[in-house]
Amino acid sequence: MKLCMIGTGYVGLVSGVCFADLGNEVICVDKDLNKIKKLKKGIIPIYEPGLEELVLKNYKNKRLKFSTNLSDSVSKSDIIFICVGTPIKKNNNGADLNQIYNVAKQISGSISKFKIIITKSTVPVTTGDEIEKIISKKKSKKLFTVVSNPEFLREGEAIRDFIYPDRVVIGTKDKKSNRILKNLYSPLISKGAKYLNTSRRAAELIKYASNSFLATKITFINEIANLCEKININIEDISIGMGLDKRIGSRFLRAGPAYGGSCFPKDTKAIITTADKFKINLSVIKSVIKSNDNRSLLLLKRIYELLNNKVKNKKICFLGVTFKANTDDMRDSSSLSMIPALIKKGAKINYYDPTGHKKEFSMLKDVTFSEDINTAIKFSDLIIIHTEWNDFKSINFKKNVKNKKFILFDVRNIYSSDKMKELKIKYFGIGR
C-alpha cells in the first residue's frame, strides 16, 4: 500500500519505517528541511534502539522515502497518517492542536482521489470531527474519510511495540476503510495482535484512558512503596503478589521516581481538560497528577535524610538523567527538578548518561558530566541510580568509589538489598 506519514517525530518516523519494512511504500514528510536532509543521509534525529538500521535498510530498498513536499506526497498516497505533535497548551493544560489543523488544511488542498486520513498523533476526543469539518470545506466527503488509529509505542521499545502490539485500534464506521486498514495491519494481526474496530471518538479516548490508567498504576504502586518503607516490607513482593492476579497484571507495577516523558504528564492533564469541557470531574486522574508532582519532593526529602541533612558540598552522582532507560529524552524527567533542588542546597552534582551530555544542565553551576561510569562515581558521597539502563546493573562500586563510606540510593531497585548488605555497602532502594 502507498502510505504517507506527516511529521517525522517519534510516532511518524518509527511507524513509517516499520510499515515500509512490512512491504509498503512509505513517504515520510516533514516541513523541517534540515531533518529531511539528514534522514536521507541516514542521520536519525532521535535515539531509538534498532531504528537507524531499519531506516537505512528501507531507504536503500526504496520502500521508504523522505520529503518536505506535503501536497505531492499526499497526492501519491492512498493512506495519510497525521503524526505531528500535540504539545500541552501553555495556558490551560489542553492539547495544542494547531499543527494538526494546519496539516488538515494542507491535506484538503491536495486531494483529488479517495484518501483515508488517519490521526496517529494523540488527539482529544472530537478532533477527528474537526478535521473532517476542515477538509469538507474544500473537498466532497466522498473523497476522504477521517479515521483514528492511536499508537501505543513506548520510547526505547518502539520497534518491538510496533511489530508485536497487544492491539490495533481503528476508529471508523466506514466499512471500506476498516477493511483496508485491517489488511494493512494483517501481518501484525497474524502474529497475535488483537484488532479492535470502534467509533472514531472511542478510539481517540482509548489512547488517553490507557495512558492515564498506566500513570495511575505507577502512582498507585509508588504510594504503596511509601508504606512499605515504613513497615519493612519489600515492594517487589507486593508487585509480584498483585501482578499474579490476571485482573491486575504484572506490568507497570515497578515503583520508582515520578513518572515522566512526553506522554503521561501531558495526556493526564489533557484528558482532565477534555472532561472539564463536558463538566465531568476525573478526580482519580487529578489526584494521580498531584501525587506524581509530589513524588520528586518526597525523594528529595529521602535524600536529605540519607545525608543527615548535611547536603552542602556533598558530591552526588546521578547515573542516568533521562526519564527512563533506552532513550535520550529528557522531557519531564524527575532529574530536571531533583538536580537543581540539590544544587540549591549546596550539593556538587556529577552525572553520567549513556546518551551523553544534556543541554538542560549546561547552564547550571556545580553540575558536571562525566564521560564514563567509573569517573562519575569515583569521588561520590552519594550515588543515585536514576534510570534502569543495563549499563548500571553490574558496577563494581567497592572497587571504583574512593570514599569508602559512600551511600547508594537505587531509585529503580536494580540491585538486590541482600547482595549489597553482603558487600557492606550502605544501600537504599524504593519501598524496601
| Ramachandran quadrant class, 33 (left: phi over 0; alpha: psi -120 to 50; beta: rest) | alpha
Q: Is 353 in the site for ligand UGA (CB under 6 A)?
A: no
CB of 175 to ligand UGA, least distance (A): 27
Q: Is 271 in the site for ligand UGA (CB under 6 A)?
A: no
Q: Is 254 in the site for ligand UGA (CB under 6 A)?
A: yes
Q: At what angle do helices 127-136 and 98-108 cross, to 10 degrees?
A: 30
Cα dihedral 358, 361, 362, 366 in deg (nearest 10): -130
263 catalytic? Reply is yes
CB of 40 to ligand UGA, least distance (A): 26
5's enclosing H/E stretch is: strand 2-6
For ligand UGA, give the closer residue by CB, 122 or 337.
Answer: 122
Alpha helices (runs of H) in 10-147, residue ranges in sequence order = 10-21, 33-40, 51-60, 70-75, 98-108, 127-136
Site for ligand UGA in 30-49 (CB under 6 A): none
CB of 322 to ligand UGA, least distance (A): 9
> Beta 382-385 vs 407-410: how paired, if at all?
parallel
Query: For residue 386, what are the contacts with CB-CB under 8 A and spacing of at least 6?
Result: 257, 318, 319, 320, 321, 334, 335, 338, 411, 412
- If DSSP codes are grouped into helix, strand and coil, which group holds residue 283? helix
Q: Alpha carbon of 139 to those of 35, 72, 103, 128: distances in Å?
A: 31, 17, 15, 16
Q: Is 165 in the site for ligand UGA (CB under 6 A)?
A: no
Binder of ligand UGA out of 115, 120, 324, 358 (CB under 6 A): 324
What residue has cell string 495526556? Answer: 267
Site for ligand UGA in 216-235 (CB under 6 A): 218
The Cα–Cα gap between 241 and 207 comes to: 28
Q: Tell me if 319 sits within 8 A of 373, measured CB to CB.
A: yes
Phi first, then psi: give them for residue 147, nearest 5 degrees.
-120, 150
CB of 405 to ligand UGA, least distance (A): 30
Binder of ligand UGA out of 154, 167, 302, 357 (CB under 6 A): 154
The span of 21-29, 105-113, 187-195, 248-256 binding ligand UGA (CB under 6 A) equals 248-256
Q: Is 149 in the site for ligand UGA (CB under 6 A)?
A: no
Count of residues in contact with ligand UGA, rule CB under 6 A: 20
Q: Is 83 in the site for ligand UGA (CB under 6 A)?
A: no
Q: Is 392 in the site for ligand UGA (CB under 6 A)?
A: no
The span of 24-32, 163-171, 255-263, 366-374 binding ligand UGA (CB under 6 A) equals 255-263
The span of 131-139, 146-154, 163-171, 347-355 binding ligand UGA (CB under 6 A) equals 146-154
Q: Is 409 in the site for ligand UGA (CB under 6 A)?
A: no
Q: Is 263 in the site for ligand UGA (CB under 6 A)?
A: yes
DSSP letter, residue 135 = H
Dihedral sign of CA atoms 242, 243, 244, 245 in order? positive
CB of 253 to ligand UGA, least distance (A): 6
CB of 320 to ligand UGA, least distance (A): 10
Q: What secondary structure does DSSP assign to 149-173, as a single string?
A: ----PPTTSHHHHHHS-SEEEEE--
The span of 126-134, 247-255, 312-320, 348-356 binding ligand UGA (CB under 6 A) equals 247-255
The Cα–Cα gap between 208 and 204 comes to: 7
CB of 264 to ligand UGA, least distance (A): 5
Q: Is 252 in the site for ligand UGA (CB under 6 A)?
A: yes
Q: Shortest CA distance to 224 belongs to which of 282, 285, 295?
A: 295
Q: Is 295 in the site for ligand UGA (CB under 6 A)?
A: no
The Cα–Cα gap between 182 and 176 comes to: 10
The span of 138-146, 180-188, 194-202, 249-257 binding ligand UGA (CB under 6 A) equals 249-257
Q: Is 256 in the site for ligand UGA (CB under 6 A)?
A: yes
Catalytic residue among 18, 83, 228, 263: 263
Count of alpha carbons within 13 angstroms of residue 250, beta-carbon side: 5
Q: Is 211 in the site for ligand UGA (CB under 6 A)?
A: yes
Query: For residue 137, what are the contacts with CB-CB under 8 A and spacing of at least 6?
Result: 108
For ligand UGA, give the closer residue by CB, 151 or 381.
Answer: 151
The Cα–Cα gap between 341 and 430 comes to: 20
Site for ligand UGA in 104-123 (CB under 6 A): 122
Q: Is 264 in the site for ligand UGA (CB under 6 A)?
A: yes
Active site residues: 263
Binding site for ligand UGA (CB under 6 A): 122, 151-155, 211, 214, 218, 252-254, 256, 259-261, 263-264, 323-324
